[in-house]
Structure 1
Amino acid sequence: MTLPSEQDGRAGDELARSLLDSGALTPEWAETFRAVPRALFLPDLVWSYDMATGRSVPVSRAEDPQAWERSAYANVPLVTQWDDGRHTGVEPGAVPTSSASMPSVVAAMLRDLDMTEGMRVLEIGTGTGWNAGLLAHRLGGSGVVSVEIDPSVTKQARDALKRAGLSPEVVNVDGRHGWPEGAPYDRVIATVGVRAIPPAWLEQTRPGGIILAPWGTHHSDQDALVRLTMADDGSARGPFLRMVEFMKLRAQRLDWNRFARHIPEFPGDADVSSTRVTLAELGDRYESVRFVIGLCVSDCAHVVNRSDEESGKAWFFDLASRSWAAVEFHSGKPDATVYQSGSRSLWDEVERALRWWTDHGEPSLDRFGVTVRPDGSVHPWFEAPENGLTIG
């Protein structure tokens, strides 16, 4: 068993105190955070991610051990793998595909899991193994199963957990399928973003059990943490808690190349109109209005190509047909040009969603929730499950 060094202990105590002060860490988890420091689970090369700029900076333990240790105990996410393991070298790769989450995010999710002794927990997405280690320290290894799709990430996590003297069951499988051999579970926690709640997770969770997952629509890369409670009929329902940001489940990543057939040439036969909606009103990556539009406008992918703060082009693509819309925003001009093509008038739907959100007083995210049927279909609602979110 690898015990934290005296230096690790001081840094861990300081991190735990700051998380307790912020409310992310609750007292019942404090000793576990001190006993299972994140540094024990990190590789010698990590990339410290700045969420404000989107830049990832390499930090090498061999070349700068002090900077590496500061990063290990800082409240920042650390990328630990790029491009599904195909990346080599020190400079960042194209797409981050495994990471150590921000300690405040980890602590808050464990708080929201609302565990008690004797529960069985399934974790989707082992990553470095730190979260599985925290769970195993609190519940004992026999109460925790963690699944990871990447074989090399699985091995690294197992090795780290062994060094730390912790023994959750770590299984190399696709997280979509859960791990039925260990079911039923009292809690399921996903540390990857999902665009659909797999039916297997519902099947493997006890009635009254909780599924905690970063969920979102293909409208954007945004995730919101949803806390679902299982019902006796095999469905689950619950509210969104707050915005989070996670790497996506590999099987549910959006392939943008699929939309190349939507627009053989621009603007083609598109209908042309105008709108007074501004680019800012569509929301940025951290604003809930963008997430709510995704709830209201189903099966729609959205991306913005910005020229500056006020100008650029917003694209909307139907996931089920070849309908599309594009809106050109011009700095200093009150009107934006709208192009729409296909059986769905996607921009009209977006405008209706924006009007609904404004008319309802720009409600916060925690007033929304979803019901997930046993087949995995998701039904958004506003303030209560019986208030289905339908925008006329």
Structure 2
Amino acid sequence: MNPTKKAEEAYPTRRQVGFALVSAGVLTSEWLNTYALVPRRAFLPDVIWPYDMESGQAVHVSRTDDAGRWRRYADDDVPIVTQWDDGGHEGPRPGRLPTSSASMPSVVFRMLDVLTVDEDSRVLEIGTGTGWNAALLAHRTGDGHVVSVEVDAAVADRAREALHRFGALVEVVHGDGLCGAPDHAPFDRVVATCGVREVPFDWVAQTRPLGVIVAPWGTGFTQDDALVRLQVHASGEFAQGRFVGPVAFMKARAHRTAPVDHEAYAPHTGFPAVEEPGEVAAEIAAGGRFGPLVFALGLRVPDCAFSPAQERDGARPLWFYSRGDRSWACVFLREGRPAQVWQHGPRRLWDEVRAAHAWWCAQGRPGWDRFGLTVGAAGEYAWLDDPGRPL
């Protein structure tokens, strides 16, 4: 068999990806025609860094060097980085921080389905990126109904060019998306394609009563987010709704958090550990980065960063760092042995995490759909089951 042909067959075609998305219930009939007519590849630059599922890394792909490989990745259900380090990156190797991308189609259409747009809906998009998501929305809602705000001028220019080239009439605004687009308000729908640590009230104020806001929201406990769907109250004074499930998005620039400097917290563990049963820590480790337990811990243990290390030779340390001071905790798991716990600083972080775990268990181990968020002019708060039960 021809090696080149065999390599090509290892990648699914766009038709096969679409079939898989339909089978998974992600690509609904309302969006099927849009998927067919608005391909992601029309909005990608010649040089991309798609996430390779086999290696678990972003890989450099150039359309000039290998057009077939570029197209296969463009059509596949993988996220694709299109900018590193806010545009300060050069060369084929990945940069330090991905700062603009084209999300994987399964995530895009899942969010669009949650957004529930109709023909003629006026939509505000926060984070233009490549322009593909805005083009999908414009195809569904009609020309001139989508306004997209992009904080990076170069990214905004490229998206504007791609949208014009494709023939999608979208208003691209260079500015801070956290402020919305007041000159174009009101909107029926607001969708954010960047992760936020707080939903700006400006989005609520610029959305019509009973309108919908969809955004990736997180606590900072990890870098991951949860998708929240908010509906603006009839009074227009607040918005609230439930979380849908886990997602991972690049953060809005103003909501980025600096990486934890481990040495600044814990240059050594030069004091005795406390031993305890390891069931709680083991459940946290096994829950995975996208599990509802880790999300609940982030809600119950504020201003804390969780950093689980990779398991090596049957051992795995779980680190917790306070964002407000230099408190830290480490739980060291080793198969067949009690957990070893170190805590240092004014906060006893492991005690807080363990108490949060006990709370989660006492509530019946709630999943995503039992958590919600309320956003008002005075701020926001998360709740369990009912807005009257704030966390």
1:360 to 2:363 alignment = yes
Q: Which amino acid in 2 is paired with 1:142? A: G
Check 1:184–1:222 CA distance in 2 against 1; reply closer, same or farther (3 A cut). Answer: same
The corresponding residue for 2:24 is: 22
Per-residue deviation, residues 307-344 of structure 1 (Å, max 9, x unmatched): 527534333233334433333334442132231321x3
* 1:180-329 superposed matches below 5 A: 180-231=182-233, 232=235, 234-256=237-259, 266-267=268-269, 273-277=274-278, 279-282=281-284, 283-308=287-312, 310-329=314-333
SS, match of residue 59 in structure 2: strand
Distance 1:235 1:53 in 2: 44
Q: Which amino acid in 2 is paired with 1:169? A: E
The corresponding residue for 1:178 is: 180
Distance 1:187 1:52 in 2: 37
SS, match of residue 47 in structure 1: strand
* Contact preservation (8 Å) 1:97, 1:247: yes
The corresponding residue for 1:59 is: 61
* 1:27-66 superposed matches below 5 A: 27-50=29-52, 54-66=56-68
* Contact preservation (8 Å) 1:274, 1:338: no
Identical columns (%): 46
Check 1:271–1:295 CA distance in 2 against 1; reply closer, same or farther (3 A cut). Answer: farther
Residue 51 of structure 1: how far off its partner (Å): 5.7
Residue 287 of structure 1: how far off its partner (Å): 2.0
SS, match of residue 256 in structure 1: coil
TM value normalised by structure 1: 0.89
Q: Which amino acid in 1 is paired with 2:294? A: R
Question: Over the residues paired in the alignment, what is the CA RMSD in angstroms?
Answer: 2.3
Residue 190 of structure 1: how far off its partner (Å): 0.5
Distance 1:306 1:361 in 2: 29
The corresponding residue for 1:6 is: none
Long gaps (5+) in structure 1: 1-9
1:370 to 2:365 alignment = no
Distance 1:266 1:15 in 2: 49
Q: Which amino acid in 1 is paired with 2:331? A: V
* Contact preservation (8 Å) 1:340, 1:347: no
* Contact preservation (8 Å) 2:119, 2:142: no
Residue 37 of structure 1: how far off its partner (Å): 0.7
Q: Which amino acid in 2 is paired with 1:174? A: D
Check 1:321–1:372 CA distance in 2 against 1; reply closer, same or farther (3 A cut). Answer: farther
Residue 147 of structure 1: how far off its partner (Å): 0.7
Long gaps (5+) in structure 2: 1-11
* Contact preservation (8 Å) 2:332, 2:339: no
Check 1:141–1:165 CA distance in 2 against 1; reply closer, same or farther (3 A cut). Answer: same
Q: Which amino acid in 2 is paired with 1:327? A: V
The corresponding residue for 2:121 is: 119
Residue 175 of structure 1: how far off its partner (Å): 1.5
* Contact preservation (8 Å) 2:118, 2:140: no
The corresponding residue for 1:4 is: none
* Contact preservation (8 Å) 1:150, 1:172: yes
Tell which deviates more after alignment, 355-364 or 128-137: 355-364
The corresponding residue for 1:78 is: 80
Residue 297 of structure 1: how far off its partner (Å): 1.2
Equivalent residue pairs, number:
376
Check 1:388–1:53 CA distance in 2 against 1; reply closer, same or farther (3 A cut). Answer: farther
Residue 228 of structure 1: how far off its partner (Å): 0.7
Distance 1:329 1:172 in 2: 48
Distance 1:285 1:115 in 2: 30
Distance 1:221 1:151 in 2: 25
Q: Which amino acid in 2 is paired with 1:356? A: W
* Contact preservation (8 Å) 1:272, 1:340: no
* Contact preservation (8 Å) 2:121, 2:141: yes
Check 1:157–1:346 CA distance in 2 against 1; reply closer, same or farther (3 A cut). Answer: same
* Contact preservation (8 Å) 2:205, 2:236: no
Q: Which amino acid in 1 is paired with 2:69? A: A
SS, match of residue 309 in structure 2: strand
Distance 2:352 2:53 in 1: 30
The corresponding residue for 1:150 is: 152
* Contact preservation (8 Å) 1:225, 1:241: yes
Check 1:21–1:349 CA distance in 2 against 1; reply closer, same or farther (3 A cut). Answer: same
TM value normalised by structure 2: 0.89
* Contact preservation (8 Å) 1:237, 1:371: yes
Per-residue deviation, residues 239-278 of structure 1 (Å, max 9, x unmatched): 1111111111111111135787655x5458x896443235
SS, match of residue 144 in structure 2: helix
Residue 121 of structure 1: how far off its partner (Å): 0.6
Check 1:302–1:174 CA distance in 2 against 1; reply closer, same or farther (3 A cut). Answer: same
